Amino acid sequence: MDERPAPLAGVRIVSVEQYGAGPFGTLFLADLGAEVIKIEDPATGGDVSRYIPPGQEGTDSLFHEAFNRGKRSLVLDLKNGAGRAVFERLVGGADAVFSNLRGDQAERLGLTYERLGPLNQRIVCVALTGYGRTGPRASLPAYDALVQAEAGWAALTGEPDGPPEKSGLSLADYVAGLAAVLGLLAGVVDARATGRGRDVDTNLYDAALAMLSYRATWFLSAGMVTDRRPLSAHPSVVPFQFFATADGYIAVACPKEKFFVALADALDAPELATDPRFGGFAARHEHRDELLPLLSERFAGRSTEEWLGRLRGRVPVAPVRGMRDVLDEAELASRGMLGTYGHPVLGTVRSLASPIRFAGYEPAYRAAPALGADADEILRGLGYDEADLTRLAAEGAFGSAGADHGGEDGRARGARQGAIPG
């Protein structure tokens, strides 16, 4: 049997992360075996996601669990001299420092290569911000809905005669998180080859802009403006959209000529494939207002299941499903997409597994850490003994209640300090 170590075994990432975008990205690294150490601020009770329902109890919640399984937690005050000293010792043996804060915070907290390179020449310093680390908007907070609105996504989403809409998912957060960890991995590969790390920056707004992709190219190169089409239709490929059926909706895509021919046959309307108005991509695009009503009328006459039976294997097609159907546990398990593990407070947690598969490696999912749960092991691994921990606590390295530097005490402290930062 081909069993190998985790692909990212031995990679240590010190992550000053919070809420969604950053933790979503580093979750993929943890699933692949990287050691992700969350540095949590004692002044705020740690990551704000610990206090967001549902399933919220003390400093644990299902929201936090979804982004932080398999990671480690260390409560540390980076603005305190003693806390900073611990952080710098940790950086000395790490591959990367990752942060997702406001654009002005990486500099203020000393999370840049200029500050950390002298401690570890190979350290990669990744900053995922809202609008970048420089410029007039660097100090502004950014959230997914704001970015989807400002980067043009909402204007492209929804029905033409309806209001602009954001995606039902926090896709700006997720895309930015993935872009940031892609930059992190590229930086680590480069640092191992050259012996020198560097700063790696990305931000929610630029990552969202990049997702405009071909629509941006069309506009910037040819002045073509794309807007919303009914039923989420593609701006140029016809048909490539949703259609109402007798009992729901179905998604149909014809990005190849052979698919349109097969669709016409399956609809019992082979004459559509030979009609000169619909012969080719350009013609169908020009005459979409004539073609789509003909297709819609036929789709409305049968159920979604009937159309799936007629079209699957001939035309790219899928049912529009709700969450209850999508998250069927048996189906997820059959695809290897169900990750199940025990949690000391939340009980059995069922989540989605990593979509990245490596031959010879199977992730072993484990619960997100309690607030400060790994402090003792991490700190002793850095060479601190009990006397050192007592001194660091007295000096405020772990916050004002620093004597509780791990485990259940850390969890209780986080619950008492449960203020949620803005």
Per-residue model confidence (pLDDT) at position 162: 95
Place of tokens 């349109």: 260
What is the token pair recorded at 243?
């259609």
Rounded to the nearest 5°, which phi and psi values hold at 405?
-105, 30
pLDDT at res. 110: 96
From first to last of the 422 residues of the chain, give the pLDDT tens digit: 567 899 999 999 999 999 999 999 999 999 999 999 999 999 999 999 999 999 899 999 999 999 999 999 999 999 999 999 999 999 999 999 999 999 999 999 999 999 999 999 999 999 999 999 999 999 998 999 999 999 999 999 999 999 999 999 999 999 999 999 999 999 999 999 999 999 999 999 999 999 999 999 999 999 999 999 999 999 999 999 999 999 999 999 999 999 999 999 999 999 999 999 999 999 999 999 999 999 999 999 999 999 999 999 999 999 999 999 999 999 999 999 999 999 999 999 999 999 999 999 999 999 999 999 999 999 999 999 999 999 999 999 999 854 344 433 433 343 333 332 22
Q: Is the peptide bond before 118 cis (omega within 30 degrees of 0)?
A: no
Tally of CB atoms within 10 A around 183: 21
Q: What is the pLDDT of residue 4?
A: 85
Of all helices (H) and strands (E), which one includes residue 325?
A: helix 323-326
Q: Which residues contact 192 (CB under 8 A, 6 or more apart)?
A: 122
Kind of pairing between the strands at 240-244 and 199-203: unpaired
Q: How far is the C-alpha of 131 from the C-alpha of 379, rounded, in Å? A: 34
Query: Which residues, listed in sequence order, are joined to residue 202 by a DSSP beta bridge?
Result: 128
Encode burial over 38-57: b for 16+ CB neighbours within 10 A, e otherwise: bbbbbebbbbbbbbbeebbe
**Looking at the domain 230-320, which fold is it?**
formyl-coa transferase, domain 3 (3.30.1540)
Length of the chain: 422
Asked if 107 and 138 touch (Cβ cutoff 8 Å), the reply is no
**Are 211 and 221 within 8 A, CB to CB?**
no
What pLDDT, on the 0 to 100 scale, is given for residue 29?
98
* Joined tokens for residue 352: 């989605």
Map residue 49 onto helix, strand or coil: helix
State which amino acid sits at residue 378: I
CA–CA distance, 198 with 183 (Å, rounded to integer): 11
Among candidates 129, 39, 115, 128, which has minimal Cα distance to 75? Answer: 39
Do the beta carbons of residue 166 and residue 151 sit within 8 Å? no
Check residue 404 and give its pLDDT. 43
* 154-156-160-166 Cα dihedral, nearest 10 degrees: -30
Place of tokens 């560097």: 198
Model pLDDT, residue 155: 95
Please give the distance of CA 329 from its chain centroid, rounded to a whole number. Answer: 22
pLDDT at position 401, please?
Answer: 54
CA triplet 320, 321, 322: central angle to 5 degrees? 135
Q: What's the pLDDT at 418?
A: 32
Q: What is the 3-state secondary structure (H, E, C) of 158-222?
A: CCCCCCCCCCCCCHHHHHHHHHHHHHHHHHHHHHHHHCCCCEEEEEHHHHHHHCCHHHHHHHHHH
Q: What are phi and psi of 20, to 5 degrees?
A: -115, -60
| CA dist list (Å): 159 to 155, 163, 183, 229 | 10, 8, 36, 6
3-state secondary structure at position 36: strand
Cα 89 to Cα 84, 105, 150, 382: the distances in Å are: 9, 20, 40, 7
* pLDDT computed for residue 400 by the predictor: 82
Tell me the fold of 12-210+333-416: Rossmann fold (3.40.50)
DSSP 390-420: HHHHHTTTT-TTTT--SHHHHHHHHHHT-PP
Q: Where are the domains of the chain?
A: 12-210+333-416, 230-320
Distance CA 220, CA 214 (A): 10
> Are the folds of 12-210+333-416 and 230-320 the same?
no
